[in-house]
Amino acid sequence: MLEMFEYEFMQRAFMAGILIAILASISGTFIVLKRYSMMSETLAHSALVGVAVGLAAGFNPLWMAVVVAIISAWLIEYLRTTFALYSDSILAIMLSGSLAIAVIIVSLGGAFNNSLFSYLFGSVLSVSDEDVMTIVIFGSIALALLLAFSKELYFIAYDEEVAKVSGIKVKMLNFLLVTVVAIIIALSIRVVGSLLIGALMVIPTVSALQYRVGFLQTTLISLVFAIFSVISGMTLSFYFSLPSGATIVICVLVVFILSLVVNKK
């Protein structure tokens, strides 16, 4: 069909990108409804610490990103439930704290600034076969967990206390959700970049919400928007030599603006 699929790296990038679109949009629905939008930004910065550690110590940066993002997600959830702190303050503290640690590790390491750049903004060229495998394995687990508990997570997003009174294990499921989100974000930074993944997680859902339909339809619309944005973003980035992550985000922004306009009362 298209010239770009003659390149193996583009095939890999598309596969990884579509998987990430699915994961980011479905998890994003719960994140947005729980008023956790900033969580994705914070975890993306925490994942950078993992990348920095991985690059400095010679481990697979993607695996390290997953581990550090999960630890960070648990820490946020622990702080939120244990201390009298505002959720958004915790997120702001963790975000800048993570970035500071990542920058220091990077500057101590010295030589790997260029590869870090690809994690900040995403780079389709850098997606390896190993990365695709990592995304498939962890992504399937994350997706299975989300689908398994989607009705509980939806209930919790609607009203945490009523969900608790009806016998749902709210605390456990909140930890599960942030864990899954941490995994998805860490997996995404190869393609979209840690500075931009928050957009792919949040904007498709916020766009879908403009159509004012039920939960299932909202999730499906968000899924379609995310996949469309990734495909069109990657295609544009290939033909016009644009950075992939940023182009994907611009595409999803266009979808958002159109959704706002179309549904304007």
Partner 1 sequence: MSLKFRVPIFDVKGLDFNVRGQNILSNVSLEIFNGEYIAIIGPNGGGKTTLIRMLLGLDKPTKGKIKLFGKKISNFKEWSKIGYVPQRASLVDANFPATVLDIVNMGRVSKRGIFSRSSKEDLNAVEDAMIKMDISDLKDKMVGTLSGGQRQRVMIARALASNPEILILDEPNTGVDMVSQQRFYALLSKLNKEENITIVFITHDIGVIADDIGRLFTINQKAIICNNPKEALSCEEMSELYGIEAHLIHNHKHEH
Binding site for partner 1 (CB under 8 A): 33, 147-149, 151-152, 154-155, 158-159, 161-168, 208-209, 212-215, 217-218
Beta carbon nearer to partner 1, 89 or 166: 166
Helices (H), 34-159: 37-57, 61-82, 87-109, 113-121, 129-148, 150-158
* Closest CB 213 distance from partner 1, rounded Å: 6
* Closest CB 24 distance from partner 1, rounded Å: 18
Structure tokens at 163: 């969900």
Beta carbon nearer to partner 1, 30 or 119: 30
CA distance 134 to 140: 10
Instruction: Tell me which DSSP letter residue 19 carries.
Output: H
* Closest CB 146 distance from partner 1, rounded Å: 11
CA distance 203 to 24: 10
Q: Do 9 and 1 contact (CB within 8 A), yes or no?
A: no
* Closest CB 174 distance from partner 1, rounded Å: 15
Distances (CA, A) of 2 to 20, 89, 235, 238: 22, 47, 10, 11
Burial string for 148-182 (b: 16+ CB within 10 Å, else e) reads: ebbebbbbbbeebeebeeeebebeebbbbbbbbbb
Beta carbon nearer to partner 1, 9 or 154: 154
* Closest CB 142 distance from partner 1, rounded Å: 15
Structure tokens at 52: 């920095």
* Closest CB 56 distance from partner 1, rounded Å: 40
Distances (CA, A) of 243 to 18, 24, 122, 125, 173: 17, 19, 8, 10, 36
Q: Do 106 and 91 contact (CB within 8 A), yes or no?
A: no
Beta carbon nearer to partner 1, 113 or 166: 166
* Closest CB 29 distance from partner 1, rounded Å: 8
Beta carbon nearer to partner 1, 104 or 162: 162
Beta carbon nearer to partner 1, 102 or 146: 146
